Structure 1
Amino acid sequence: MDRRSPFAIMLKSRRHERRLSQLDLAMEAGISQRHLSFLESGRSKPGRDVAARLARALRLAPELANAFMAEAGFAPIFPARAITDAAMAPVRSAAAQVLQGHMPYPAVLVDAVGDVLDANVAFDAALSLFGDPAELWDRTHEGRQQNLYRLTLHPAGTAAALVNFGDVARATLQRMAREGQAGPRLAALIKEIVGWGTIDPAWASPGWGPSPAPIFAERYRIGHQMLSIFAVTTRLGTAMDAIAGGLRVESYFPADHRTQKVMERLER
């Protein structure tokens, strides 16, 4: 049984993920290797300044940096404003322009864990291909916050029509596993998804298998139609806020002419 503090365990784990030696990290953070060794073994506790320097040296994303500081017993480094906060108005405006500018194709604004914050009209229209959108969300979420990962991978969601589900699920879990290193909320969602029993748990390991292609098509059979789409991610936030730092727009494009015509007809 590991008797080290959660901070000591987290520190060593993140250092390994960054593939840094103790000496490399110590030099980057401006502390001695001996001090770092004592921190990782739990023999010493960090001061706030040392913990903050280690978070910066490890290049932790804002949400994870805050969790790192919490494990060390200190207040967060980064604020975590809600998307509705007045200070976030410029970000909301930028997101709205990106969503509207992608018409007539679907686009959705999500946070670091994939929770849906906004979407354009074409996204809602595309969901209608799978039945009533409200019922689709209810089946997959049961009243919880709408989440793009859950919608895509849940057996009762769009996955039911996904012809290449294995390829998409594997690539999605690989992405989530890598980004799960940016915070505990996404790690918890990965655990939930794996618990459904429709996905190989090995897919959730960051180092499992070859890296997925940068762009690949999701192929859906809807009635007698085969539709293919691919997504491009646009990052919107800054590293100065734990929420804004994880905001992104997922913009969907038709992968063939048939899908293009269907999407354009839906928007009209």
Structure 2
Amino acid sequence: MDFADTLRAARQRRRLSQLDLALRAGTTQRHLSFMESGRSRPGRAMVVRLGESMELPLRERNELLLSAGYAPVYPHTPLDDPSLAPVRTALGHILTGHLPYPAIVVDARHDLVLANDAFGLITEGVAEHLLRPPINVLRVSLHPEGLAPRVVNLAQWARHILDRLPHDDLYDELSGYVPHVAPGPGHVGFAAPLRLRSSRGELLLTTTITTFATALDVTVAELKLEAFLPADAATAALLTG
């Protein structure tokens, strides 16, 4: 898409009116309308400001810049690059700090980047082919040879995962693995703890997700740290015993 189409699509995805975005970006609705119609070509600073005002992910801000004919502003550095050593060190400390509870780091594709030792309790019995890199943790969660046979509340857990995904190829694959659950009349989105059979007994786990809110590198901004925390005293005892 050209810049006008890219800008309009991004604004509409965030359910912002032209006036809302214009006010956020410090411009006029008329100017924004001209940009979306292709009648006005914005400067680089304006494109950056529009991306910031819509709170676009850094990858999408770079795409917006490219569509306007400008070079990307935000670097996309491999995680093993020496410049990101402090990030890797920080992630290692955080993962260790979550012990004895399982915790992982995933990238934008939900591929496993790092995990602490307790994550082995989650992946007990998972087929070897699902644990060969790149390891997609959502595929591991729902595949019939992954966690699925051990998940007590599979239908609810699956919908909790699928509700977070765009309707892409991964969504199509994963939705084919799990039973359908019809949302009730008051449905506003599934949120379910994970009830998982393990060698230590049945675990009731809730999850938290942490991101680098102030990251200026695409790689770092897309990392997510997910921790599995005990949702009851019995699970806490099983994990700490």
Shorter-chain TM range is 0.7 to 0.9
What TM-score comes out, normalization by structure 2 length? 0.82
Counterpart code for 1:32? T
Give the aligned partner of residue 204 of structure 2.
228
1:195 matched to 2:159? The reply is: no
Secondary structure of 2:195's aligned partner: strand
The one-letter code sitting in structure 2 at the alignment partner of 1:168 is: W
Query: Following TM superposition, by how much is the alpha carbon of 1:120 offset from its aligned partner in structure 2, in angstroms?
Result: 0.8
Amino acid at match of 2:10: R
Query: Paired residue for 1:183?
Result: none
- 1:146-225 matches, within 5 Å, as 146-177=135-166, 190-196=167-173, 197-198=175-176, 209-213=187-191, 216-221=192-197
- Pick from 102, 109, 112 the counterpart of residue 105 of structure 2: 109
* Alignment map for 1:28-43 (pairs within 5 Å): 28-43=24-39
The alignment partner of 1:219 has SS state of strand
- Is the contact made by 2:126 and 2:145 (CA closer than 8 Å) also made in structure 1? no
Residue 63 of structure 2 aligns to a residue whose secondary structure is: helix
Moved more, 53-62 or 12-21: 12-21
Instruction: Tell me the CA shift for residue 96 of structure 1.
Output: 0.6
When you count helix as a share of all residues, which structure comes out higher? 1
CA distance in 1, matches of 2:74, 2:129: 37
RMSD: 3.0
Higher RCO structure (Cα 8 Å, ≥6 apart):
1
Aligned counterpart, 1:84: 80
**Aligned 8 A contact 1:234 1:248 in 2:** yes
Q: Distance in 2 between matches of 1:42 and 1:199?
A: 44
Residue 246 (structure 1) aligned with residue 222 (structure 2) = yes
CA distance in 2, matches of 1:6, 1:170: 35
Amino acid at match of 1:245: A
Q: Flag structure 2 segments of 5+ consecutive residues without an equivalent.
A: none
- Structure 1 residues without counterparts, runs of 5 or longer: 139-143, 178-189
Taking structure 1 as the reference length, what is the TM-score of the superposition? 0.74
Offset at residue 261 of structure 1 (A): 4.6
Aligned to 1:126: 122
